[in-house]
């Protein structure tokens, strides 16, 4: 699985630490971590939490990533922004039990963390334990065992509802403010990381046009 990491501007200084902990946990599991930044608070390309949502949707809907780790000061804004787009099911993860139950009950493809609120002594250990529980087994297994069948049924219902209530990704890319879109995909390593991994020719061609 290809796991993308995205940080918005208020918590960009923690990017390298988050990446290090994430890689330490998931690399032995056979997963790949791809860091889309922000890499530092003074990066030329600045991302707000709303842009985090858009970038997350681009990566997931294009197949460039299978899962996204992101967040903001509280994690709430990033979660809300991510869930405003099609093809994204983002959970708010504070502790390891959140991580495990989101994976097993909701089987989402993105997780938003609070990288400021409550992020004190032992924060890197909490991240480590969260990542372990988030990726320790195949998602959607259900929890507790007696709830597996209705939870899996409800997940399918939710996926169907989202297809009805969300516009498709290409329509969004064409109608969203183009300067906002360009700023979202102008990170220092975006071209290098995205275009080789993108599996959707239509999204790839449009992003290339925006960046031209």
pLDDT reported for residue 59 = 98
Give the model confidence (pLDDT) of 40-81 as tens digits: 999 999 999 999 999 999 999 999 999 999 999 999 999 999
Residue 130: closest CA among 100, 103, 105: 100
pLDDT reported for residue 123 = 97
pLDDT reported for residue 209 = 97
Task: Find where tokens 């209705």 sit.
Answer: 150
Contact in structure between 188 and 176 (CB atoms under 8 Å): no
Q: Which tokens go with 54?
A: 């858009």
The mean pLDDT of the chain is: 97
Q: Which tokens go with 200?
A: 């959707």
Q: Could you tell me the pLDDT band of residue 90, with boundaries at 50, 70 and 90? A: very high
Domains and CATH numbers, the chain: 2-211 (3.40.1400.10)
Average pLDDT, stretch 186-207? 97
> Residues in the chain, how many?
212
pLDDT reported for residue 117 = 97
Give the model confidence (pLDDT) of 165-192 as tens digits: 999 999 999 999 999 999 999 999 999 9
Contact in structure between 69 and 91 (CB atoms under 8 Å): no
């Amino acid at each position: 699985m290809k796991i993308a990491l995205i940080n918005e501007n208020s918590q960009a200084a923690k990017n390298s630490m988050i990446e290090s902990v994430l890689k330490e946990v998931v690399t032995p599991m056979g997963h790949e971590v791809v860091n889309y930044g922000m890499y530092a608070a003074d990066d030329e390309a600045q991302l707000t939490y709303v842009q985090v949502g858009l970038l997350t949707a681009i990566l997931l809907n294009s197949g460039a990533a299978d899962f996204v780790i992101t967040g903001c000061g509280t994690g709430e804004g990033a979660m809300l922004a991510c869930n405003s787009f099609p093809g994204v099911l983002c959970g708010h993860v504070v502790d390891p039990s959140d991580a495990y139950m989101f994976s097993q009950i909701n089987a989402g493809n993105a997780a938003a963390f609070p990288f400021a609120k409550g992020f004190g002594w032992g924060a890197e250990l909490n991240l480590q334990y969260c990542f372990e529980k988030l990726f320790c087994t195949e998602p959607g297994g259900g929890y507790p065992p007696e709830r597996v069948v209705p939870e899996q049924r409800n997940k399918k219902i939710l996926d169907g509802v989202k297809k009805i209530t969300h516009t498709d990704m290409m329509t969004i890319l064409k109608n969203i403010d183009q300067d906002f879109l360009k700023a979202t995909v102008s990170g220092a390593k975006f071209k290098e990381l995205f275009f080789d991994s993108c599996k959707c020719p239509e999204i790839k061609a449009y992003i290339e046009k925006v960046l031209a």
